[in-house]
Amino acid sequence: QVQLLEFGGGLVQAGDSLRLSCAFSGREIRNYGVGWFRQVPGKEREVVIVQTTGGTTYYSDSVKGRFTISRDNAKNTMYLQMNTLKPEDTAVYYCAATLRYYSDIMDYTPPGAYQWWGQGTQVTVSS
């Protein structure tokens, strides 16, 4: 059973950068499809970035060019680097992992594709 533990949320100003971390315990991250999602009150959880074990990556249009995902297999940790943050990026951010295999990267984008979730971390961007 893998456990995901997130770090790195906080309050920043528009235009700032922030990096979130998601540490995997109990299993090797290299074996998992992974993703970052976010959620604001009253709305459904939405995909930010997802990545297959082979490295194929999907970026939502709202973060393309500003956010990137990376993995450090030695540390069993993945990261979400967020640059040029905007107030509309304010949300609780969640990391997620799945052992299921999907042939199409788009099948990794629904929250239901994931079996394990981090606890969530608040990111607030002030204008």
Torsion of CA 73, 20, 68, 116, to 10 degrees: 60
Measured CA to CA, the distance from residue 84 to residue 15 in angstroms comes to: 4
For residues 8 and 78, give the distance between their C-alpha atoms in angstroms, rounded to a whole number. Answer: 12
CA distance 50 to 110: 10
What's phi and psi for 40, nearest 5 deg? -115, 155
* pLDDT 10s digits, 40-55: 999 999 999 999 999 9
Give the whole-number percent of the chain exceeding pLDDT 90: 97
Q: How long a stretch of residues is the chain?
A: 127
> For residues 50 and 106, what is the distance between their CA atoms, to the nearest angstrom?
9
Residue 27, pLDDT above cutoff 90: no
Can you tell me whether residue 88 is helix, strand or coil? helix
Estimate to the nearest angstrom the gap between the alpha carbon of 101 and the chain centroid.
18
Q: Which residues have a Cβ under 8 Å from the Cβ of 9 and sit 6 or more positions away?
A: 18, 20, 93, 121, 122, 123
- Per-residue pLDDT of 59-85, as tens digits, reads 999 999 999 999 999 999 999 999 999
Q: Please report the pLDDT score of residue 26 as a whole number.
A: 80
